[in-house]
Amino acid sequence: MTAERVPRLALDIVTIFPDYFAPLGLSLIGKARDAGLLTWTVHDLRDWTHDRHRTVDDTPYGGGAGMVMKPEPWGDALDAIADAHPGTRPTLVVPSPAGEPFRQSVAHELAGAGRLVFACGRYEGIDARVVEYARTRMDVRELSLGDYVLNGGEVAVLAIVEAVARLIPGVVGNPDSLVEESHAVDGEGLLEYPVYTKPASWHRLDVPGVLLSGNHGAIAAWRRARALERTTATRPDLVPEAHAPLHLAAD
């Protein structure tokens, strides 16, 4: 008899565009599903509408441009998903330009949560009462990928799912690559140093000689210097205190 694997991560995704999530079946994430490491279900929000036009939006109270996602289909969808897994408290992820920044530390938290529900908004967003209502039975994380506006949450959900799924043991083949990256963006580290492969000379551009030297100490020092240089130039906010340029004490 074959032992049934219990997936480390179970995802429910609610959207008016289920086709956006077909790519999840590809590549590493699809293989991880085949291996039983994670599982997901994509739900069409319109399955929880009751009018013949399957309406999910309405005009905003207070006026203004655009449309707002009406609360009833969302409430019924979230109820159905929560009721399907009694005795668990899932985490509801809602991508929004107004959310907290999504970063690697958040990806680790979500990977540990076990059950994630993703709510993909469209138009000007979802009626704010939906998140309030959801908090009665789910932990809610409103997350922003960065300071720009998309047409909806779907693309953000794809990014978040990929960042989270690859942290599940076995999803990424070589766990060393996870460790290396954690130095880059997990908060205590620097951006990646530049990387090179063969040929050693290409279009008259040469790979830095130190990388061909076999001197592992010199290579490590070179990489650290390049990482610090790069981070200082493009992401000074990530430069650790100990490496930051010294400021003169005020007298």
DSSP letters of 20-65?
GGGGGGSHHHHHHHHTTSEEEEEEEGGGG--STT---EEPPTT--S
Does position 146 bind ligand JAH by CB under 6 A?
A: yes
Does position 96 bind ligand JAH by CB under 6 A?
A: yes
Does position 77 bind ligand JAH by CB under 6 A?
A: no
Instruction: Tokens for 81, please give them.
Output: 């998903």
Does position 125 bind ligand JAH by CB under 6 A?
A: yes
CA distance 197 to 205: 12
Angle, helix 104-111 to helix 154-165, in steps of 10 degrees = 70
Contact set for ligand JAH, span 196-225 (CB under 6 A): none
Does position 97 bind ligand JAH by CB under 6 A?
A: yes
Q: Which of 32/157 has CB closer to ligand JAH?
A: 157
Binding span for ligand JAH by CB under 6 A among 11-19, 70-78, 81-89, 119-127 = 119-127
Binding span for ligand JAH by CB under 6 A among 2-10, 141-149, 186-194, 220-228 = 141-149
Classify 181 as helix, strand or coil: helix
Binding span for ligand JAH by CB under 6 A among 133-141, 146-154, 220-228, 234-242 = 146-154
**Smallest separation (angstroms) from ligand JAH to the CB of 44:** 17
User: What is the sign, positive or negative, of the torsion defined by CA atoms of 103, 107, 108, 113?
Assistant: positive
**Smallest separation (angstroms) from ligand JAH to the CB of 79:** 21
CA distance 47 to 142: 24
Binding span for ligand JAH by CB under 6 A among 7-15, 145-153, 167-175, 219-227 = 145-153
Place of tokens 């990387």: 195
CA distance 52 to 236: 54
> Applying CB under 6 A, which residues contact ligand JAH?
95-97, 121-122, 125, 144-146, 149-150, 152-153, 156
